[in-house]
Amino acid sequence: MDLKSLIREIPDFPKPGILFRDITTLLRHPDGLRCTIDSLTEKCQSLSPEYVVGMESRGFMFGTPLAYNLGAGFIPVRKPGKLPAAVHTVEYELEYGTDRLEIHQDALPPGCRVLIVDDLIATGGTASATAELLQQIGCQLVGFGFIIELKDLGGRQRLPDAPIVTLVEY
């Protein structure tokens, strides 16, 4: 299936000059959604993760069914103030300013095999920050999985050395 044909392009969002890749049109398409999850499962199976980590919020949408298919647990990485127990925190750079991500300190056992999943890799800041959180816990990063990669933004170069799976490239 041509997943790219199911992703809507919205010019000048969220600001002029940006061509936004909208996955809501992919999510509403039953066969496209199934193909997305099945393809990601097939490409990530050999990485043998024990856990899938997804970042708020679109990483949750793809990470949870992927974890189910892989027989792995799912762990959410959230924006500040959303998790109720003690957390590890990492601050990372955005195009204009900084942001933070958090994970429960007891979310993962040290040494476990973890796959990071999100809908898109652009500059790589969010995925790189999530990898930092996993390093704080002492996890083994087995790879990254993304639905979309915006190649011109070079996000891949910011990530730690681990396999990177993508389904659609722009």
Pairing of strands 140-149, 164-169: parallel
Annotated catalytic residues are 58, 95
In this structure, what DSSP letter does residue 119 have?
Answer: E
Long-range Cβ contacts of 99-103 (<8 Å, 24+ apart): 101/55, 101/56, 101/77, 101/126, 101/129, 101/130, 101/133, 102/77, 102/78, 102/133, 103/53, 103/75, 103/76, 103/77, 103/78, 103/130, 103/133, 103/134, 103/137
> C-alpha angle with apex 166: 161 to 170, nearest 5 degrees?
110
Task: Please tell me what DSSP assigns to residue 64.
Answer: H
Would you give the end-to-end CA distance of the chain in angstroms? 17
How far apart are alpha carbons 147 and 166 in whole angstroms?
5
